[in-house]
Structure 1
């Protein structure tokens, strides 16, 4: 198995930056691969810079995909969001029964950004 990410290689500044402004988001979601395949996934956490997902299979570093998920905001109710992202790390997690994959947002639309910002700051 090819390891795409090793948490021991992170320095403290990168690790601290990643934790800043993130909030747990545990919900079912759908990943759309570049080939158009749909995969059932779960979300793990989210911030303005990206989202962590739990997927049944690994993804290549720097590959791109889209993720569709719902976020609950007290002022807006439930909002469905579709975001584009790039894989920046992936690690197999026995605890989560899948791969925890970190996606960096690409071209995050203003509406989605506002919904995520509202959710993270609540």
Structure 2
């Protein structure tokens, strides 16, 4: 497994691999992705994992789905803002959770002091 993908869920790893294939040109704009079942076989994951990965890619603008036709690489790659990799977002979330916990403790202390 790629070291940058450690800690990712299976659907995130699938989505990241497809994005990488788009970035390097293995999947060109307008190219049709394999069907979900074939992608599941290719990545050796469950069908639901692939479906979740494809939905994530749609939400991020990497692919476009046409019902009853297929899923295609978007004509333009979405611009990825710096500092928005999944790992960076997770780390930011951990820091925010720690900060929130700290603020909650401080608030509780202030409320206790105020009540005395």
User: Where on the TM-score scale, by shorter chain, does this alignment land: which range?
Assistant: under 0.3
TM-score, with structure 2 as normaliser = 0.23
Q: Which has the larger radius of gyration?
A: 2
TM-score, with structure 1 as normaliser = 0.22
* Higher fraction of strand: 1
